[in-house]
Amino acid sequence: MSAPSDRLMYNSKEATALNPINQSLVDEVCQRAYSICVEYENNASSLVAKLRGRLLGCLVSGAINPKAQRYISNQVTKYAATDGGLERLANIYIKHIIQRLRNKEDVMGLPPYDEIQDVLQAHRKEKVAKAQAYFASLNSAHESSSANQEQDLEQFEKTDRNSKEIPYVYQVLQEANYRCYITQWTDAHHIAMMKSEGKDLVELEIDEAAQPQIYVRGVHILPQFTREEMHNVIDKLPGEEPLTLHGLWKDYLAVYLENLCGKHYYDAPNLLILEPDAGCMFNEMRLWLDHDTRPDTRVLHEDYYNVALDVPYFGSKTMEKYPVSISLEDGLLPAPPHIRAHACIARACALSGFERYFEMMEK
């Protein structure tokens, strides 16, 4: 493992004002927009306003690519020309992106593996019963024996459009060998099952003594949306095209909300398999997988990530369990744009110290 100094670490508790000189701006339009944010922060009469300006500056400089940086830079320039425009723009990003990420419904993660197995068994029994009833209705003389239940079930799933979906997370768990993507620790329930079946843990590359007893969970990377809200107009400047929720996520984060609606939200591209502590920290944006900050990482394979930590929330012993970097190469893997979007917002919040904003708003 690399030395601790190699870690990608942030300290949101000691966030400082925007640096007027920023080397990550792609052109004069972006430089001008960033300068507007610096000026807005410096001239703000309250800490809340300063934090809004600082957040906008971090969102500009930390955009995922030049296209996204030009997009938000043009927004900053246009909104700055209207009375109260920058506060209005900051609130758009806070409400429609940051708070959506902070308030995902799975703050404590999806059920652990052993609970998911219970759900799967219940679903399967229900489907078999429905399949038997379905075929019995076609032929009153037909009775499905245990020998052909599997065939009944397969055929029924093709016809029953309303049957419950088997949790996608189970498929991802299987492909991940029931290991946390970050720590590589294996689920304790799975270890117990392998031992009960007489499996050799060494052959399975499981070192039970080298890890704590943990139960991995499936954690959603990005929040869920409905098709009804996807094209909602969330703001409109005079003489400009309406700003929609879909457009904001597409043009700033390169995320298409169609992929976060309905059953797509639960599918592999939006799932990480994590042990509970890592899952909670990921959901709270105090831990993220970063591909873009370091030049040496950007030129490596798309599946290579630094494990970024907001250090005030981790003790030194806690940090030791997280590797400096990971490679996501095997299994049903999450979509890189989803990981990149999460990292972009988590990084901006850490650099701007934006947790302080929410603490003040809650008071």
296-315 pLDDT, tens digit per residue, is 777 667 788 999 999 999 98
Query: What does the pLDDT read at residue 356?
Result: 93
Please list the residues that pair with 326 across neighbouring strands. Answer: 305
What whole-number distance in Å separates Cα of residue 320 and Cα of residue 335?
27
What whole-number distance in Å separates Cα of residue 344 and Cα of residue 350?
10
Query: What does the pLDDT read at residue 161?
Result: 37
Query: Tens of pLDDT along 213-252?
Result: 998 888 999 999 999 999 999 999 999 999 999 999 999 9
Please name the amino acid found at residue 328.
L
Query: What does the pLDDT read at residue 120?
Result: 64
What whole-number distance in Å separates Cα of residue 345 and Cα of residue 100?
11
What is the Cα 7 distance to its own chain's centre? 21
pLDDT at 159 over 60: no
Inter-residue contact 306 to 289 (CB < 8 Å): yes
pLDDT at 184 over 50: yes
What whole-number distance in Å separates Cα of residue 64 and Cα of residue 253?
7
Choice between 91 and 145, residue whose per-residue pLDDT is larger: 91
Query: Tens of pLDDT along 44-98?
Result: 999 999 999 999 999 999 999 999 999 999 999 999 999 999 999 999 999 999 9
Residues with Cβ within 8 Å of residue 228, at least 6 apart in sequence = none
Phi, psi of 19 (to 5 degrees): -80, 120
Residues with Cβ within 8 Å of residue 137, at least 6 apart in sequence = none
Tokens 């979906």 identify what position? 165
Q: Where are the domains of the chain?
A: 9-107+220-362
